[in-house]
Structure 1
Amino acid sequence: MTEIDYEAEYNNRARVPENPVLMAGWAKDAAAYREQHPAHAVVYGPGGRNRIDFFSGGQDGPIVVFIHGGYWQALDGSSFSHCARGLNAHGINVAIPSYDLCPDVTVDTIIQQMRAATRELARFGCPLVISGHSAGGHLAACMLATDWPAVDADLPKDLITAAYAISGLFDLAPLIGTSINKALRLDEAAARAASPLFWPAPRGATLDAVVGERESLEYFRQSQTIVTQWAPAGVAARFDTIANANHFTAIAPLADPNSPTVMRLKKLAGR
């Protein structure tokens, strides 16, 4: 059996050499959308990055959260404002949180911050659907699998009923021997503890694990594995692909009101 080159499988910037242009496009499109559709800031913690950009859809009702990627060590929510466009066009509210980054904090701290952000959004009293990309896909699955009454006795167990993880990472162990781990500083114990694949499956919830059609085999394996493992445990889990997309273009459909991605999130939000 051939040994897997995890560095090649997970180093998306090396796999997609045009990534600087694509990420510059994110920032440009995000700034343009904020100019057209200003966000309301929601603070969930004491740090400068502990904030949520809330893009109103103009109606009361569900909130779809989008958690950005960057391998827990890069970017913030401001580069992804345009990802609210598709759902906003259907009157659905979108919340885009930022969080502190490794190596200043640990992956576990980021998970705790996203729980704090989710708890803050729960104050709106609306159904929550969690989506995310890459590291954000990991965090979306973590939020879905969180025991919310254990976090806060006033929160319902079904605080989040669905997650839509784009190019998510659910088992972090393969990253330990890669350059990505220089900032993460994961050992085997920390990687397993932060991997939702090994948490109790959120019975009764829905998980969509999707990947870009042109992504690495490891990204396919990550999503297919969590679906295979969670589905028999009572999760409505499904695997899907985003046509012709690489790791960086997989989020583009979020800006298109008529894309299959937006239509699926609209359905998950009950609209």
Structure 2
Amino acid sequence: MTLHRISDWDDAYTNSAYIPGGEGYPDKWQSLAAGFRDEMGRTGRLQADISYGARQRNRFDLFLPIDTPKGLVVFVHGGYWTKFDKSCWSHLARGPLDHGYAVALPSYVLCPEARISEIVRQVADAVTAAAGEVPGPIHLTGHSAGGHLVSRMICTTTPLSGDVVSRIVKTVSISGLHDLRPLMNTEMNNTLRLDIAEARAESPALLEPIGGIDLTCWVGSAERPEFLRQNGLLENLWSSFDVRLSSIEEPGRHHFDVIEGLADANHPLVRTLLAV
């Protein structure tokens, strides 16, 4: 196997420039999410801006199915820990909702106001608060930086309590970043402020998984090579532990459209997340 040495780490983690029409996706997400929130609000199935902490962005939206929830799905958004909030992704709740699950979408304080280690704790607080609203099994999923954050929840150094961890039955990291050290070589680290100690402490690939967890790492086959590499890390590095692991490359999908499967109840991404 020929190994390619990366010399331009900023380019390795650039997505929009390599996706046709990439610059238009944020507006598309906002429009779809706003329409979905309006629909859910009219039917009384949206509980908006539930607080899980003291700061302004410590809020989550909770979408409820028609009947008593079968359990809880938590979706954690991406944006390199520096962009977006819960309002961009509401429409991705549709797939799990159609299967009868409640779906929580949290915002969190972004870098540089917060460090990544602080964001990890915020996400744990959001999961805990959402778990207090909805009983039953918990399914975690997140995209890109959100994939990192949900994977971090199932490491032995998780900030989650044992009671919450015991309810997590499935985690799906979508295009997740599981080793943070390469990001120290990018210009975005001026915002992230990662040092080697924090990168090591918060990289799932450098930590041990909680025994018995069930994790799928999901990526689009048309994503950048560095995201394909990051996707395969946990299946490789955690394979000796008592865990269930799989990695999937969805044909033809890129970094911006790989999440669209969450909006479709019959899509394999939703079925994998819910084990249906």
TM-score interval, smaller chain: over 0.9
Structure 1 residue 196 displacement after superposition:
1.2
What's 2:185 paired with?
Answer: 177
Structure 1 residue 241 displacement after superposition:
1.4
State the secondary structure of the residue aligned to 2:96: helix
Tell me, in whole angstroms, the C-alpha distance in 1 between the residues paired with 2:146 and 2:69. 25
Matching residue within 92, 95, 106 for 1:86: 95
Residues 1-271 of structure 1: pairs in structure 2 closer than 5 A: 2-4=4-6, 5-16=8-19, 18-38=21-41, 39-41=46-48, 42-58=50-66, 59-123=68-132, 124-146=134-156, 151-152=160-161, 155=163, 157-267=165-275
The one-letter amino acid of 1:15's match is Y
The one-letter amino acid of 1:238's match is S
The one-letter amino acid of 1:95's match is A
Task: Give RMSD over aligned pairs.
Answer: 1.7
The one-letter amino acid of 2:143's match is H
State the secondary structure of the residue aligned to 2:217: strand
* Conservation of the 8 A alpha-carbon contact between 2:137 and 2:168: yes
* Conservation of the 8 A alpha-carbon contact between 1:8 and 1:15: no
Tell me, in whole angstroms, the C-alpha distance in 2 between the residues paired with 1:211 and 1:194. 21
The one-letter amino acid of 1:24's match is D
Tell me, in whole angstroms, the C-alpha distance in 2 between the residues paired with 1:156 and 1:87. 20
Tell me, in whole angstroms, the C-alpha distance in 2 between the residues paired with 1:161 and 1:144. 10
Structure 1 residue 16 displacement after superposition:
2.5
Tell me, in whole angstroms, the C-alpha distance in 1 between the residues paired with 2:138 and 2:274. 12
Q: How many residues align?
A: 266
| Runs of at least 5 residues in structure 2 that lack an aligned partner in the other structure | none
The one-letter amino acid of 2:55's match is G
Tell me, in whole angstroms, the C-alpha distance in 2 between the residues paired with 1:88 and 1:72. 26
The one-letter amino acid of 2:47's match is H
* Conservation of the 8 A alpha-carbon contact between 1:143 and 1:160: no
Tell me, in whole angstroms, the C-alpha distance in 2 between the residues paired with 1:218 and 1:230. 19
Task: String of CA shifts for 1:111-149, please: whole Å, max 9, x gaps.
Answer: 00001111112223321110000000000101122556x
- 1:157–1:166 distance in 2 versus 1, CA, 3 Å: closer
- 1:2–1:230 distance in 2 versus 1, CA, 3 Å: closer
Using the aligned pairs only, state the percent identity. 37
Structure 1 residue 40 displacement after superposition:
0.5
Structure 1 residue 18 displacement after superposition:
2.1
State the secondary structure of the residue aligned to 2:238: helix
TM, length-normalised to structure 1 = 0.93
The one-letter amino acid of 1:122's match is A
Tell me, in whole angstroms, the C-alpha distance in 2 between the residues paired with 1:17 and 1:104. 32
The one-letter amino acid of 2:111's match is C
Task: String of CA shifts for 1:148-204, please: whole Å, max 9, x gaps.
Answer: 6x7546x25423232101000010001111122121011111111111111221221
Structure 1 residue 229 displacement after superposition:
1.1
The one-letter amino acid of 1:158's match is S
